[in-house]
Amino acid sequence: MNFGDIFTSSFLESISEFSAIDTLIGMVFALVIGLFIFVIYKKTFSGIMYSTGFAMSLIGLSLVTTLVIMAVTSNVVLSLGMVGALSIVRFRAAIKEPMEIVFLFWSLAVGIVIGAGMIPLAVIGSLIIGIILVICANRKSLNTPYILIVNCDGEKAEKSTLELVKGSVDKFIVKSKTVDASGIELTAEIRVKDNATDFVNKINDISGVSGATLVTYNGDYMS
């Protein structure tokens, strides 16, 4: 018996039969969990611009990965060819948010697990991941960071502004201070109390303050 005979008897004859019912069940579960991932991504999104295309790709990624794993597990020869084919694929899409990587790997993991036939693991694992992400996202939204920019014409207006801000917010950290011939520009990260932003109007009423701007900040500073 030569190598060709061994290869034929060990691999080519080990191809399992194709089951339309198993494939349909697997694809249905991949679609349902993919939609669940889509909803969690939409609910927990905290970036600047929401991408519908990326959200829809999470569903497609779960379905495609499930289909590929089903094919690989049913045919060893096909799995070897699949490894070679996928090794030359390169993706150039930029990841804008770190959390997008989590959702991409989640969709891939769901497809792999369902394709391998471990549907209960995919369902239970996805429920746990989804609940944790929703809890963490809601907890973060309760204390939204803001960036406050104030333009003052002198030190007296600056001092009055700082005293007013410190008494009106939960957290106040000066991030930058620019002084030039036109006056002083302060930039600070703040955490407001109960989303109350009426103190910005009071800042603008201070004598010597030419303008006050409050914007939401998407990100974290290391303090």
Helix (H, G, I), strand (E, B) or coil at 32: helix
Q: What is the DSSP letter of 17?
A: P
Across 45-144, where does the E strand assignment appear? none
The pair of structure tokens assigned to 36 is 């669940």
Ordered strands of the 145-152 beta sheet: 169-180, 183-192, 145-152, 209-216
Report the percentage of the chain scoring pLDDT > 90. 20
Q: Can you identify the CATH homologous superfamily of domain 145-216? A: ACT domain (3.30.70.260)
Give 71-109 pLDDT, tens digit per residue. Answer: 777 665 565 556 555 555 555 666 667 788 889 899 989
Domain ranges of the chain: 3-141, 145-216
Contact of 70 with 20, CB cutoff 8 Å: no
pLDDT at 6: 46
Helix (H, G, I), strand (E, B) or coil at 16: coil
